[in-house]
Structure 1
Amino acid sequence: MKNDITATIIHSTNYTRRLEYLLEICRNLSANLELEPLLYALIESASELTQSESSSILVFDKDNQQLRFAAAPFYQMESLATLGVPLDRSVAGWVYTNCQPVILHEAEKDNRLFQVADRETSGKTTSIIAVPMVYRGQTVGVMEAINKHNGGRFIEEDVSILETLASQAAIAIHNQVLLDDKEAAFHKAMELDRMKGDFIAIASHELRTPLGLILGHASFLYETVESDEQKNWADTILRSAMRLKEIIEDFSDVEKLENGLTRLRRGQVQLSLLVQDTVDAFTDIAKDQKIFLNIESLEENLQIDGDTEKIAIALRNLIENALYFNKPGGRVQIKAERIPGYIRIGVADNGIGIAAADQQKVFQRFYQVETHLTRHHNGMGLGLSIAKDLIEMHGGRITLQSQLDRGSIFTILLPLSSAQADAANRVFMME
């Protein structure tokens, strides 16, 4: 009886040491973010802690619906790397499918033993222990250990140890899958962005020549034809061609902005005059749409350091947007004033408004609040994004307040000077 007690104490002491070693392994592995060295460290630890000849990790291959070796002893991995392990004719496949551990003491007598692996490695499996690798209820693979040292038998303690290591492997593999998916999505997004850029370049460059011919001939027709009906036809062609010209110019602006080709030509910008001229340019369009467009208030001698042309484009896009997304009988009001350190320009309308969920998205390129099936308004979804970029190049910003079915207020904030713009950029970046 004394011998039994001594044996129990020795066994308990050894098991405690193995658990302490296992805990230390898990702590060390948690700091290792590289999948391959982590998996190899796990199988080495599995072999040592279970006192087995070798260990391996198999993961599920979705494309081929079979398991494949993700880690095995270096002297075997070359032979096993391309080997597919079937789910219905292997111990690992059974463990993966049933999500249950297996211990085989006479493995060669079990018809689930995948003997192809032994032939590939010139080895012989006499005993095997295999456990599922599970992460959040999902089986991602299998961890195996084969051939207990000195002909020994695998026991339940070996199962517990292997399951602990398998859980570490499952976490690592799951994280790697997430990283791979994220990288694949990133590359796909980059490719789509490249394709979009190519399309913009083609649209903005290749369409200019035929459009110029259309405008030229339509203008000639308008001047030479005599009947009102023919003039109306020519006028329709001219209006449509001018709309296409605006779209192409938007494409060109986007291409330059995305490629970093847009530069500010700084000088004194007479904002009071710029606002008045821009509003005047839309007077006829507003009348045609039966929308009341006016300047509510405009301080005199508003000046900033900036690029007149680019600020005009930004303001023009905001006014155009306010007119397009309005209705007959609606109104668009412009206000420009000086506040400490800035000029503030407001474009307010009582149009259709923008839902809260869409208010950040409207500044994204090509974003349309309406789908292509329900759209009732013109535009490519570029005007607001271009305006935002051009104003931000000045160290300013555009803000939006809107309520669905009640209208919107777009506000431009422009710093008075370059020094103020640099300071504003630092503040805006912190927000």
Structure 2
Amino acid sequence: MNMNPLPALDAPIADLLLLLRQRDLPTALRAALARIMEAGNAEGASLCFAARRPIQLRLGHLPAAALTTIEQWEHSLLSRLEQGPLYAEITSQAALPSGHMLVKMPLSGPDTVVGNVVLLLPPDQQLNEYQFDALRTLCHVTGNLVSLLQDLTLTQQRLERLGLLYEIGQALASELDLQQLLRTTMQLAADVMNAQASSLMLVDPTDSNYLIFEIAHGVKRDQLKRYRMPTTQGIAGWVATHAQTVIANQPDNDPRFNRKVDLRTGFLTRNIICVPMQIKGIVIGVLQVLNKANDEGFDDEDQELLLTLASQGAVAIENARLYRNLREERDRIIQAQEEVRKELARNLHDGTVQILAAISMSLEHARRLIDRKHDPEMVIQELNDIAELNNRAIRESRTLLFELRPVVLETQGLGPALEAYIERLNKDKGKAAEVTLDFPQDMPRLSGKVERTLFAIVQEAVGNARKHAKAVEIAVKGRTQGEYLYMVIQDDGAGFDLDKVQAKYETSGSLGLINMRERAELIDAEWRMASEPGKGTRVTVRVPLAETRPEAI
């Protein structure tokens, strides 16, 4: 019977200390198991380390009978550890029919048992108490070292992820171009997760029941661009609907998984993590990462990291959208200002300038009549005509100034401003349409913003009817009903096909309808227009009174 003592522990322990240089836990455990196996003169060895995901290693020759016993011991250990910490574990032995001996020793961490080591000893070898103590010491040192290595590795990973999240935050905060921001988010998601592919889907702004693949990263990405998917399908649809994270490391076993996307692209999904992207509790999209590089799949730390990235990405996307909307609004304002300038130029050219030109010609004609000493009655008549033209020019100029800034609107309110405006229009004998006003005399003052907006909408609607509709009568009516104020502008003019006009608006260069609708939206009002060829046009604005009082400004 072989009773050779184990070598001194100094060298094996010194070798084990070198494990701290390792950064890969399975590699370090394999090296430690090899050193313990060598120290015990064993023919084979196994190690079970109860990490976040258990690591099970086998070395040397392990017959089937040995493997059966080892698997039973490991299963028992892992089951007990699932129920809570294990503070002690006894050393066990089991004889095999071949005469070999299995020896099980605990791997002990700083406070608790973290695994076990099993050695297969030759038939002619037995261990005395000293040898048992030496091997137990090696296992204890190994358990402490690998626990420390695991903690160091996790700490390093967390520090790296924190640094990466900081870089991600900086990158997302500095990018305002929406498409570039989406591409950056996808690239970062795949890199952070060490995964094969990622995709970002946003809720369709026109129909919240659909998701749109905005950006995909990795292979097959081009085949998913702008692909629409109902929120009733797939893991992504479930996440968007329920605002909850899903980790599917075996997606084929998850009834929510939709294989259609894989069939469409030829991509094989092995595992997937999908998280919601939310702004103030509202889901604006989902971020998903597929096929983690290792075979272990995604875990809770991946979920926490991806949720952080999704949160930062959602804020950045919202900021980019706001920035884009601001730019679009700026462009609309510039275009609207240009339209106002053009309209002012047209009105001055077609009205005031023409009248001034007529006055100039009439003055020249009167001068000639005086020079040729014509009948004084003719001169007087010509001067009367000039006076009328001059008065007309003054009225039109005042009307233009009134439309640009009706002071009465600021001082007396919407009703008096509409009365003054319509009175000026009706004094213009050059226009055929008669404009009438029916507005409550007891209407209380509204907020300045609401009054200015409603006045501008009335101006736009009446101006369109006078210039384009060939209307005979235009009626402006205001009334309160319940909690709402209704403004209605109706004419008996030619009317038009509303759908056709709206369909051509992007290329027509005219902003009349858009201006009215957007102005109504600014005061939370509902704007509607009805028109048919030959049946005139009706514009209705419904404003909630609760938000229009001066104190609500």
| 2:416 corresponds to which of 366, 374, 380 | 374
- 2:170 maps to 1:25: no
Identify the range of structure 1 (6-15 vs 186-195) with the bigger mean alpha-carbon deviation.
6-15
Look up the equivalent residue of 2:262 and give its one-letter code: D
Match of 1:54 in 2: 197
**CA deviation profile, 1:28-52 (whole Å, cap 9, x unmatched):** 2333322545544443443344343
Q: Is the 8 A contact 2:274 2:287 kept in 1?
A: yes
Match of 1:63 in 2: 206
| 2:155 corresponds to which of 12, 16, 21 | 16
Q: CA deviation at 1:164?
A: 1.1
C-alpha distance in structure 2 between counterparts of 1:29 and 1:102, whole Å: 23
Identify the range of structure 1 (4-13 vs 96-105) with the bigger mean alpha-carbon deviation.
4-13
- 2:285 maps to 1:243: no
**CA deviation profile, 1:327-368 (whole Å, cap 9, x unmatched):** xxxxxxxxxxxxxxxxxxxxxxxxxxxxxxxxxxxxxx9233
Partner of 2:332, secondary structure, is helix
Q: Note closer, same or farther for the CA distance 1:185–1:211 as it changes in structure 2 (3 Å cut).
A: same
Alignment of 1:104-115 (within 5 A): 104-115=248-259
Q: Is the 8 A contact 1:68 1:82 kept in 2?
A: yes
Partner of 1:134, secondary structure, is strand
C-alpha distance in structure 1 between counterparts of 2:357 and 2:161, whole Å: 76
Q: CA deviation at 1:10?
A: 4.0
Look up the equivalent residue of 1:53 and give its one-letter code: Q
Q: CA deviation at 1:224?
A: 5.0
**CA deviation profile, 1:57-97 (whole Å, cap 9, x unmatched):** 22222124322223322543311112112211121121112
Q: Is the 8 A contact 2:359 2:390 kept in 1?
A: no
Match of 2:446 in 1: none
C-alpha distance in structure 1 between counterparts of 2:201 and 2:249, whole Å: 21
Q: Note closer, same or farther for the CA distance 1:247–1:60 as it changes in structure 2 (3 Å cut).
A: same
Identity of aligned residues (%): 23
Q: Is the 8 A contact 1:102 1:129 kept in 2?
A: yes
C-alpha distance in structure 1 between counterparts of 2:181 and 2:158, whole Å: 19
Q: Note closer, same or farther for the CA distance 1:15–1:39 as it changes in structure 2 (3 Å cut).
A: farther
Q: Note closer, same or farther for the CA distance 1:104–1:201 as it changes in structure 2 (3 Å cut).
A: same
Partner of 2:298, secondary structure, is coil
C-alpha distance in structure 1 between counterparts of 2:345 and 2:216, whole Å: 51
Match of 1:91 in 2: 235
Q: Is the 8 A contact 1:215 1:238 kept in 2?
A: no
RCO comparison, higher one (Cα < 8 Å, 6+): 1
Q: CA deviation at 1:163?
A: 0.6
C-alpha distance in structure 1 between counterparts of 2:267 and 2:289, whole Å: 14
Partner of 1:198, secondary structure, is helix
Partner of 1:31, secondary structure, is helix
Alignment of 1:254-403 (within 5 A): 366-371=404-409, 373-375=415-417
C-alpha distance in structure 1 between counterparts of 2:180 and 2:354, whole Å: 59
Q: CA deviation at 1:11?
A: 3.9
C-alpha distance in structure 2 between counterparts of 1:12 and 1:70, whole Å: 39
C-alpha distance in structure 1 between counterparts of 2:203 and 2:395, whole Å: 53
Q: Is the 8 A contact 2:181 2:317 kept in 1?
A: no
Q: Note closer, same or farther for the CA distance 1:25–1:37 as it changes in structure 2 (3 Å cut).
A: farther
Alignment of 1:218-233 (within 5 A): 224=377
C-alpha distance in structure 2 between counterparts of 1:370 and 1:116, whole Å: 65
Q: Is the 8 A contact 1:96 1:132 kept in 2?
A: yes
| 1:80 corresponds to which of 224, 238, 244 | 224
Q: CA deviation at 1:166?
A: 0.9
Total equivalences in the alignment: 263
Match of 2:246 in 1: 102
C-alpha distance in structure 2 between counterparts of 1:368 and 1:19, whole Å: 64
**CA deviation profile, 1:12-42 (whole Å, cap 9, x unmatched):** 3333223222221222233332254554444
Partner of 2:238, secondary structure, is helix
Q: CA deviation at 1:176?
A: 0.6
**CA deviation profile, 1:81-114 (whole Å, cap 9, x unmatched):** 1211221112112111211111123212334323
Look up the equivalent residue of 1:168 and give its one-letter code: Q
Look up the equivalent residue of 1:46 and give its one-letter code: A
C-alpha distance in structure 2 between counterparts of 1:373 and 1:237, whole Å: 30
Q: Note closer, same or farther for the CA distance 1:29–1:237 as it changes in structure 2 (3 Å cut).
A: same
Identify the range of structure 1 (106-115 vs 86-95) with the bigger mean alpha-carbon deviation.
106-115
Q: CA deviation at 1:153?
A: 3.0
Q: CA deviation at 1:152?
A: 1.7
Partner of 1:130, secondary structure, is strand
Alignment of 1:404-423 (within 5 A): none
Look up the equivalent residue of 1:78 and give its one-letter code: D
CA-based RMSD of the aligned residues comes to 3.9
Q: Is the 8 A contact 2:362 2:386 kept in 1?
A: no
Match of 2:329 in 1: 185
**CA deviation profile, 1:126-151 (whole Å, cap 9, x unmatched):** 32111111233332221111223343
- 2:134 maps to 1:134: no
Q: CA deviation at 1:241?
A: 0.6
C-alpha distance in structure 2 between counterparts of 1:148 and 1:24, whole Å: 21
C-alpha distance in structure 2 between counterparts of 1:24 and 1:36, whole Å: 25
C-alpha distance in structure 2 between counterparts of 1:14 and 1:51, whole Å: 16
Q: CA deviation at 1:188?
A: 0.9
Q: Note closer, same or farther for the CA distance 1:41–1:212 as it changes in structure 2 (3 Å cut).
A: closer
Match of 2:350 in 1: 206
C-alpha distance in structure 2 between counterparts of 1:114 and 1:373, whole Å: 61
Match of 2:485 in 1: none
What TM-score results when the alignment is normalised by the length of structure 1?
0.52
Q: CA deviation at 1:160?
A: 0.5
Match of 1:172 in 2: 316
Q: Is the 8 A contact 1:103 1:128 kept in 2?
A: yes
C-alpha distance in structure 1 between counterparts of 2:250 and 2:279, whole Å: 30
What TM-score results when the alignment is normalised by the length of structure 2?
0.41
Look up the equivalent residue of 2:240 and give its one-letter code: Y
C-alpha distance in structure 2 between counterparts of 1:216 and 1:12, whole Å: 97
Q: Is the 8 A contact 2:195 2:290 kept in 1?
A: yes
C-alpha distance in structure 2 between counterparts of 1:155 and 1:29, whole Å: 21
| 1:159 corresponds to which of 285, 289, 303 | 303
C-alpha distance in structure 2 between counterparts of 1:125 and 1:26, whole Å: 26
Q: Is the 8 A contact 1:39 1:57 kept in 2?
A: yes
C-alpha distance in structure 1 between counterparts of 2:228 and 2:347, whole Å: 49
Q: CA deviation at 1:202?
A: 0.8
Look up the equivalent residue of 2:195 and give its one-letter code: S
**CA deviation profile, 1:371-396 (whole Å, cap 9, x unmatched):** 4642266799xxxxxxxxxxxxxxxx
